[in-house]
Amino acid sequence: MSATTKQSSWFLTLRPWLISAFVLVGLVLLVQQLAKSSTPEREGRKSAVGADFLVSAAAVTRTDLPVYFNGLGTVTAYNTVTVRSRVDGELVKVLFEEGQEVNAGDLLAQIDPRSFRVALQQAEGAQQRDQAQLQNALIDLERYRGLFAQDSIAKQTLDTQLALVNQYQGTLKANQAAVDQAKLNLQFSEVRAPISGRLGLRKVDVGNLISAGDTTGIVVITQVKPIAVVFSLPEQQLPLIRQQMATGKPLPVVALDRNQNLQLAEGVLTTLDNQIDITTGTLKLRARFDNSDKALFPNQFVNVRLLAQTLTDALVIPANAVQRGTQGSFVYVLDDSDKVHLRNISVGATTGEQLQVLSGLAFGERVVTEGVDRLREDMQVKVAEPAAPAPTAAVPTAANPGSAQ
């Protein structure tokens, strides 16, 4: 075999290895080039999430924190009365306007009183007749006693006369009761308001015959000053409410409209129901409102906010500073050099945008409130300055009507 043939055979044997070596060197050079090109990007991202990353912060403060319980309620009249006639007769007068405010004892309607006057006269006549009979029997009784003392009549005659006097006295008592009943029926012919309140729609017209057995009645009166709101709260909140009520201090209650945008009235909690609803796990409560401006209307739906407790000198932070993870609640705390540190905390009551801190923070420390989603332990950040309040325009007044132009 010639030398040329040997060299060709050797080259063919080594060629796969040479190709693999060249490919490997090319890959190594490519990886190094990519690593060099990605280093500035990583440094840029690190810088962006480092000292140039803006966050907002707030200090841990001490303040009195009110604890509110919110529930859904229904306005309920303290008293609701269906005004009915207590005697039978024709309705001859209606002396009220629908929706009118009335006081207890005001005359509302008149039933024809003539038949009741006649009945009263009959009772009084019977009473007068029996009164005369009693007087005559008493005179005879005195005469019989004198004759019996002279032994002129038998004892039985005296006893019979005495029994007759007692009979007439009993008849007079029955007559007096009949007279009183006739006077009462005559008085009942005038239908008066049993309570103070607001009248509803009239349910009967003049000329109709009404009776004491009618269930519809003449009109309905609802007491709206004061008025009550019945609402429900979860049973977990019951111990704190009972504890506060035991102190004797009234618990303030606020009624809000359906959208919780408008405060309708202020009142106080008066009582609790005597049992918890096992189907919902809630307890009914009743609050009293003076309702002097008539802002609350019976059967109106309202949102109720009960001030259950005021925590004195509580550590408070904004609620949006608190994050929650597998180990519980935590916040990012800023040190003096504006580095962030994760710290677990224990939280208490929450009111609006404020949250009570039970442990884990000290007064005056700063916590991150905005920008917490990309923070890491010991990250250097920049704290944004609080925005200045926007200037307000002058309000026109009668003395200077063009000041706001």
> Band of the pLDDT at 54, cuts 50, 70, 90?
confident
The predicted model gives 385-389 an average pLDDT of: 57
> Band of the pLDDT at 404, cuts 50, 70, 90?
very low
pLDDT at 53: 80
The whole-angstrom separation of Cα 179 and Cα 122 is 8
> Band of the pLDDT at 326, cuts 50, 70, 90?
confident
pLDDT at 374: 83
Contact of 342 with 334, CB cutoff 8 Å: no
Burial class (CB in 10 A: 0-12, 13-18, 19+), 268: middle
Q: List the end-to-end C-alpha distance of the chain, in Å, as a whole number.
A: 111
pLDDT at 394: 43
The predicted model gives 233-249 an average pLDDT of: 91
- Asked whether the predicted pLDDT for residue 82 surpasses 60, the reply is yes
pLDDT at 5: 52
The whole-angstrom separation of Cα 172 and Cα 127 is 6
The predicted model gives 339-353 an average pLDDT of: 87
> How high is the mean pLDDT of the chain?
85
Say which residue, 303 or 30, is predicted with more confidence: 303
The predicted model gives 34-57 an average pLDDT of: 57
pLDDT at 105: 94
What is the tens place of the pLDDT at every residue in 189-232? 999 999 999 999 999 999 999 998 888 999 999 999 999 999 99
pLDDT at 103: 94
- Asked whether the predicted pLDDT for residue 400 surpasses 50, the reply is no
Q: What is the DSSP pairing of strand 54-59 with strand 382-383?
A: parallel
pLDDT at 182: 95
DSSP E strand stretches across 181-261: 190-192, 197-199, 209-210, 219-222, 227-234, 252-256
* Cβ-count burial 367-401 (b if 16+ within 10 Å, e if not): bbbebbeebeeebebeeeeeeeeeeeeeeeeeeee
pLDDT at 75: 96
Say which residue, 369 or 390, is predicted with more confidence: 369
Q: How many CB atoms are located within 10 Å of the residue 20 CB?
A: 10
- Asked whether the predicted pLDDT for residue 399 surpasses 90, the reply is no
Give the three-class secondary structure for 339: strand
- Asked whether the predicted pLDDT for residue 109 surpasses 80, the reply is yes
pLDDT at 131: 94
Q: Which domains does the chain have, with CATH numbers?
A: 54-66+313-383 (2.40.420.20), 68-77+223-310 (2.40.30.170), 79-108+194-222 (2.40.50.100), 113-188 (1.10.287.470)
> Band of the pLDDT at 403, cuts 50, 70, 90?
very low
> Band of the pLDDT at 134, cuts 50, 70, 90?
very high
The whole-angstrom separation of Cα 185 and Cα 349 is 63
The whole-angstrom separation of Cα 405 and Cα 397 is 12
The whole-angstrom separation of Cα 177 and Cα 173 is 6
pLDDT at 7: 52
The whole-angstrom separation of Cα 329 and Cα 347 is 8
pLDDT at 384: 82
- What is the value of pTM for the model shown? 0.66
